[in-house]
Amino acid sequence: MKKRRWTVAAVAVMLLFTGCSFGTLKEQKTGEIEYEIVKKEEIPEKLKEEIAEAEKSEMWISYADTGNEGRYLYIVRGYGRQETTGYSIEVNECYETEHTVVVRTTLLGPQKKEKTHKKKTYPYIVIKIPYTDKQIIYE
Question: For residue 23, what pLDDT is reported?
Answer: 45
Q: What is the pLDDT of residue 11?
A: 45
Q: Are 100 and 135 in contact (CB under 8 A)?
A: yes
Question: Hey, what's the torsion of the CAs at 57, 74, 95, 91, to 10 degrees?
Answer: -50
Nearest residue to 105 via CA among 128, 77, 130: 77
Q: Do residues 72 and 34 touch, judged by C-beta distance below 8 A?
A: no
C-beta of residue 58 within 8 angstroms of C-beta of residue 80: yes
Cα→Cα distances 105→45, 90, 122, 126, Å = 24, 5, 15, 11
**Structure confidence by residue, pLDDT tens digits, 8-62:** 445 444 544 444 444 455 789 999 999 999 999 999 999 999 999 999 999 999 9
Domain map of the chain by residue range? 27-138
How many Å separate Cα 138 from the centre of its chain?
A: 2
pLDDT digits (tens, 9 = 90+) for 70-124: 799 999 999 999 999 999 999 999 999 999 999 999 999 888 888 888 999 999 9
